[in-house]
Structure 1
Amino acid sequence: MSARFKVGAWLMPQHTSVERLRAAWREADRRGVDSIWVWDHFFPLTGDPDGTHFEGWTLLSAMAVETSHAEIGVLVTDHDYRNPDLLADMARTVDHLSGGRLVLGLGAGWIERDYAEYGYEFRSGRERAEALAGYVERVKARLAKLNPPPLRDIPLLIGGDGKRVALRTVARHADAWNTVVWRFEDGNQTLDEWCARTDRDPAEIERTCFLTAPEHLDDVERLVAAGARHIIMQLGDPFDLEPVDRLMSLSRKAAA
């Protein structure tokens, strides 16, 4: 490793309370993480499927006013759940609440139960991925019309690693890309290929990935060598930040 990478904390809003989430994001911000995230689901993904759970964008509004350092975002927003013009307005508002620290994360969704119980049509994976490009264009168009505008050009992060559709959309539209640790290297190579095919400078897209367990810290050196510049640790309640501290230590060593 030869350069510092950014470090994020991804707080899973399941099997927990709002009070514990608030304490976790305040402490993560105090420790100096570069980014803090929640997710966009309606039910827990692990453990009791009917356990406690909270909605991501509402949490993000609170996080915006209770933190001051880290960039914040939803990793990632399912484009099927909200009208794109509405989401642009939500993003602009949260950007103002945070003082210009929002990263807009978008993706094609994948949890069928969320769709079924909340009344959304669950299309095929390819159909959902194909629809994302048009959605992104509408979000950007609405952001350009809002008064007042966002405090900065809100960075767009797209999550997903589908080789034929998702990564093409990343190459054409995104400022950052995210996937899980074990899919990063293969997806990163494919993204470079799409950048070449769409005449996009690959250096313009920040490469990010997330770790789902502390043992994945052993993969950090390999990930950074492969191009990862922002590594995010997923955490569940009780939100032990020790793995994030270790990740920050690895980042400092990489910059030394």
Structure 2
Amino acid sequence: MQVGYDDVLRVWREADAIPEIEHAWLFDHLMPIAGDPLGPTYEGWTLLTALAAHTRRLRLGVLVTSNRFRPPALLAKIAATVDIVSGGWLDFGIGVGSRPGHPLARREYEAHGLPFHDTEHAVGSLAEACTLIRRLWTEQKPFDFHGTHHHLTGGFGNPKPVQRPHPPILVGGRSAATLRVAAEHAGLWNIPGGDIDDAVRRGALLDRYCAELGRDPAAITRSIHLPVFYDRPAATRTAIGEALDAGFRHVVLGLPAPYPVAVARWLTDEIITPSTTRLLS
């Protein structure tokens, strides 16, 4: 948001040439949630497809897709297309969608004629969507699905994603209900950073839900999103250190716009390399 396509592409290409940067992400909002409320915001999956065509080695995804925006069968088709365009580098991020109490996020649904259901409905829909999307990526014959929130007749996905059996699924969120969905469906779980103690408590709850399902909690990579402060890189390094100590090994660093010149190289030299050195030591 609040940035032009050329600037996004510039930073993406720069990051793609730096081995220390392993993955790159967009977000999924239709209108700005900070800054000028009438400023530019691109549709996440369309932009990701364009960037995927310019990507050689980065894993890529949307952190995270709002399940409220697109029917799951359509989303499965979109994601399979991106996985093919990227040559099999997609990590599929999905979540419930915007928090009901965030007015700048809530308004984008009304502005685009999209329904905004309550949390119980949204979490139930997310669980069904994860099931449907995986089936559309993997099943070789059409199938019917009649759930509480989604219904398919003759559902079928072709072409399939490049990755087998399917792209890794990342479920993002911190609520207990969303963590239950992550315990069943996710290969990665992401939480927005800020309160590391809360993140640790949420991780322990995820462990409990995995145990209830008979799933090894270690099968789910712990991921955290942390903000970057251009004028205070030490603060970001400290936050990364706390996250590493807490068992988070997949770190997403949020770059605010406007993007400085050579920002990916600055990020590597000032934040990623020192943090990696600390981890290895």
TM-score in terms of structure 2 length: 0.82
Distance in 2, Cα, partners of 1:16 & 1:201: 41
Secondary structure of 2:110's aligned partner? helix
Aligned to 2:40: 52
Q: Deviations along 1:134-188, whole A, 9 cap, x unmatched?
A: 111111111114333211120000000102x100100011010001122422211
CA apart distance, 1:213:
3.1
Say whether 1:113 aligns with 2:110.
no
Q: 1:27 aligns with which of 14, 37, 44?
A: 14
Equivalent residue number for residue 182 of structure 2: 170
Contact between 2:24 and 2:59, CA under 8 Å: does it hold in 1? yes
**Matched letter for residue 191 of structure 1:** L
Aligned: 1:196 with 2:211: yes
C-alpha separation between the residues in 1 aligned to 2:108 and 2:269?
33
Alignment of 1:3-22 (within 5 A): 14-22=1-9
Which letter maps to 2:251?
A: I
Q: Which has the higher contact order (CA 8 A, sep 6+)?
A: 1
Match for residue 135 of structure 1 among 102, 121, 129: 129
Letter of the structure 1 residue corresponding to residue 121 of structure 2: E
Distance 1:238 1:171, change over 3 A: same
CA separation in 2, counterparts of 1:124 and 1:209? 26
**Contact kept in structure 1, 2:226 and 2:239, CA below 8 Å:** no
Structure 1 position 29, deviation (Å): 1.1
The Cα of 1:225 is off from its aligned counterpart by 1.7
1:120, distance to aligned residue in structure 2 (A):
1.3
1:75 aligns with 2:66: no
In the alignment, is the contact (CA less than 8 A) between 1:233 and 1:244 conserved in 2?
A: no
Identity of aligned residues (%): 33
Q: What is the CA distance between 1:252 and its match in structure 2?
A: 3.9
CA distance in 1, matches of 2:188, 2:46: 23
Deviation of 1:244 after TM superposition, in Å, equals: 4.6
Q: For the pair shown, which has the larger CA radius of gyration, 1 or 2? A: 2
1:85 match:
73
Q: CA deviation at 1:63?
A: 1.1
In structure 2, how many angstroms separate the alpha carbons of the residues matched to 1:28 and 1:106? 23
Partner of 2:246: 226
Match for 1:210: what amino acid? H
The answer for the alignment partner of 1:247 in structure 2 is: 271
Does the CA-based 8 Å contact 2:236-2:271 persist in structure 1?
no
Aligned residue for 1:66, secondary structure, equals: coil
Partner residue of 1:99? Answer: 87
Contact 2:228 2:256 survives alignment (8 Å): no
Instruction: Tell me what 1:38 maps to.
Output: 26
Equivalent residue for 1:9?
none
Per-residue Cα deviation, 1:23-59 (whole angstroms, up to 9, x for no partner): 0111111122111000110111111111111110011
CA RMSD of aligned residues (A): 1.5
Q: Secondary structure at the match of 2:190?
A: strand
Matches of 1:210 and 1:187, distance apart in 2: 14
For residue 161 of structure 2, what is the aligned residue in structure 1? 150
